[in-house]
Chains A and B, each alone.
Chain A
Amino acid sequence: MQKKENRRYCIGFAGLALALCVLLVGNLNAGSVNLSVGEICRILFEKTGENAAIVWDIRLPRIVAVVLLGGALSVSGFLLQTFFANPIAGPFILGISSGAKLIVSLTLIGFLGRGMSIGSVALIIAAFLGSMMSMGFVLLISNRIKRMSMLIISGVMIGYICSAVTDFVVTFAEDSNIVNLHNWSLGSFSGMTWDNVGVMSTVVIAALALAFLLSKPISAYQLGEVYAQNMGVNIRMFRAALILLSSVLSACVTAFAGPISFVGVAVPHLIRSIFKTAKPIIMTPACFLGGSVFCLFCDLIARTVFSPTELSISSVTAVFGAPVVIIIMVRRQKHNQ
């Protein structure tokens, strides 16, 4: 039985690694400018030539960002689904995207409405602050509420409040602000730079490492709160740590790419059905790989299907993510019956 499990894990990881490699090559090779595999290889090694900037400054930073952010979003979803024991819990259920959108809208309207220009860093910081602000409220509430379902409802309510304030702000906004806020809220990996990648990798890798280190308490928690307490897990600290880690991961995604729907919900389901386990020590790296693969695939479609017009990443992730969740749910239901 154990051997069978191990074989499944090996095959699962190998499959994901293979898919990741194939998609990395596919993404690197696909674009408006036709570059042969040989030319891309030459550019990768020599870093020179007419099209070096296309590979090194346009495609590669975007691909690395997709790998990091897609993986982060998926792990964030897995942590929340485990914590809330709720299959539809995702990174944005706690109002993270609404909080980010609120602060981004205030920044856009506040600065640009007065004819003051801002840099991309300001928008990234605004989105991150907004996400963490929502998370801060959830953390405050989590100290007072014990039931998970109530905590989810609190998160949803915080999202509603942020959306309401955003709508209020938008009422007085110029059309151009509204259009651009809408564009931002659809999400995109376009225009990623190595500077962006440097910052996001620091945040994501640190949060992932901490999430991985929490594997044991998460395992204990999956068997029940009482069991976890008996195993010496400080539930209050554990709750805060899990929400914080999950929020930092999804806030980082929102800051750099805007809200991206369905990855955090769909990918953990998909990975769970492949690996047939919920063990965090397996699921955390598997979800990261799965999220990266899923986002690389969706981003490839988003930027190539109607090129040079780029689809919003959320449209593509939702189209491919939603059916996956439905199919898995139906199958699971059948299996249980």
Chain B
Amino acid sequence: MRKRICILAVSVLVVLMASLLLSGCSHTVGTASARKQAASTGPDWGTLTVEKELPLQYATQFTVTEYEDGYALIDITDSGRYLVVPEGMAVPSGLDKDIVVLYQPLDRIYLAATSAMDLFRAIGGVGSILLSGEDADGWYIDEAKQALEDGSMLFAGKYSAPDYELIYSEGCNLAIESTMIYHTPEVKEQLEKLGVPVLVECSSYEGDPLGRMEWLKLYGVLLGKEELAEELFDQEVAAVNDILGQTGTGKTVAFFYITTTGTVNVRKSSDYVTKMIEMAGGEYVFSNLEDDGNALSTVNMSMEAFYDGAKNADVLIYNSAIDGELHTVDELLAKSPLLADFKAVKSGDVWCTGKNLFQEPMGLGKLIADMHTILTEDEPDSGELNYLHRLTNGGT
């Protein structure tokens, strides 16, 4: 009897697993590919004439080649090539297999790369984003927050665990991910299997802050708003051009935050924030923190090393992105009383970034201007500053 029970139990298991596996493995995704537009009958890819290369001044991580009839080929370093096909046009025949086809209008985007939202906002493209990788509380950008609250944009799960069902059922036609997706490659692969093209935006790899902002042009190409994007970018660059032309102030600056373990997170010399300090006329105190060939942009150092390097810095800027905003010097000293010895603390030249800064790459020009203001003016008017505020000497 017992033997029979065991045989029965094992048989049930084997049958159950075998039926599930066989039925599953025999299935091929027909629906995802069916969602794509019909097979190409468009012009021959090899014969399409290049009209121009999108002019880029600072960005080095992507290029855009514009072809006749409105086709545009985006090439993102280490991410891939994407062909933007204008609405109503067919996919060119003979396209290289690695090129991902994006069909305009791209109006059902899943945006998991938070820094791109500000660039979409700048060109009036928030309405093209249907699905967000952040919920309303995670956004500092009012338009995104509002869209999520009124339901015109839906929260579709964070980048590492997206809601595949929602993304698929909403007919998402493009997922824009940050380089964080490289840590969870299975997510990218699954989205692609479901027929959702994935574009990895690598603006975080841009060494020049204005290069990050220049990704605006790429989103302009995706939404068919190239001219507006170029115009806006030129305006932003013009606003900082005066500052870029000036000689250095000779003032030293430390940009940092104190981690929960008591170490100090500072930028390496190759980081874009370091470059912004230099563009604003300052000298970064940790310019000796060389890039060692990897993509790291920050480093955690001991308080002793920070004390040694930044004690005599003329200006301290506290990075609130991770740790939250500070408003008073007492709040800063609560993190480390040692900072009371610092020259900048004694002179009152301690500033803090706004938490919205890292969601707003369009504001990088304004941040450079802010840095320039605090380096050149003794008592800058707080109304002049967009992303920095001085820590006051009052209690918490």
Chain A interface residues toward B at CB < 8 A = 2, 5-6, 9-10, 13, 17, 20, 31-33, 47-54, 56-61, 63-64, 67-68, 108, 112-115, 117-120, 122-123, 171, 174-177, 179-180, 183-184, 188, 190-191, 193-194, 197-198, 201, 205, 212, 281-282, 285-286, 288-289, 307-310
- Residues B17 and A67 in contact, CB atoms below 8 Å apart: yes
- A63 contacts across to B, CB distance below 8 A: 20
Contacting A at CB under 8 A, from B129-168, are 135, 155-158, 160-166, 168
**In the bound complex, what is the Cα–Cα distance between A281 and B10 (angstroms)?**
10
- A33 contacts across to B, CB distance below 8 A: 165-166, 168-169
Is B31 interfacial (CB-CB < 8 Å)?
yes
Task: Give B185 Cβ to nearest chain A Cβ, in Å.
Answer: 5
Interface residue count for B (Cβ, 8 Å)? 57
Give the secondary structure class of B's interface.
helix
**In the bound complex, what is the Cα–Cα distance between A205 and B13 (angstroms)?**
10
Question: A-facing mask of B1-24, CB < 8 A → 1, else 0?
Answer: 110011011101100110011001
**In the bound complex, what is the Cα–Cα distance between A58 and B29 (angstroms)?**
11
- A212 contacts across to B, CB distance below 8 A: 10
- Residues B298 and A175 in contact, CB atoms below 8 Å apart: yes
Task: Give A4 Cβ to nearest chain B Cβ, in Å.
Answer: 12
Question: A-facing mask of B170-197, CB < 8 A → 1, else 0?
Answer: 0000000001101111110110011100
- B186 contacts across to A, CB distance below 8 A: 120, 123, 191, 193
- B165 contacts across to A, CB distance below 8 A: 31-33, 54, 58-59
**In the bound complex, what is the Cα–Cα distance between A60 and B25 (angstroms)?**
11
Is B78 interfacial (CB-CB < 8 Å)?
yes
- B161 contacts across to A, CB distance below 8 A: 188, 190-191, 309-310
- B194 contacts across to A, CB distance below 8 A: 53, 57-58
**In the bound complex, what is the Cα–Cα distance between A213 and B322 (angstroms)?**
54
- A49 contacts across to B, CB distance below 8 A: 31
**In the bound complex, what is the Cα–Cα distance between A171 and B300 (angstroms)?**
8
- Residues B155 and A183 in contact, CB atoms below 8 Å apart: no
Residue of A nearest to B12 (CB): A17
**Contact A285-B31, Cβ < 8 Å, known A9-B2, A9-B5:** no
- A194 contacts across to B, CB distance below 8 A: 24-25, 27
- A68 contacts across to B, CB distance below 8 A: 17
- Residues A67 and B193 in contact, CB atoms below 8 Å apart: no
- A59 contacts across to B, CB distance below 8 A: 165
Question: A-facing mask of B190-217, CB < 8 A → 1, else 0?
Answer: 1001110000000001000000000000
**In the bound complex, what is the Cα–Cα distance between A20 and B205 (angstroms)?**
48
- B1 contacts across to A, CB distance below 8 A: 2, 6
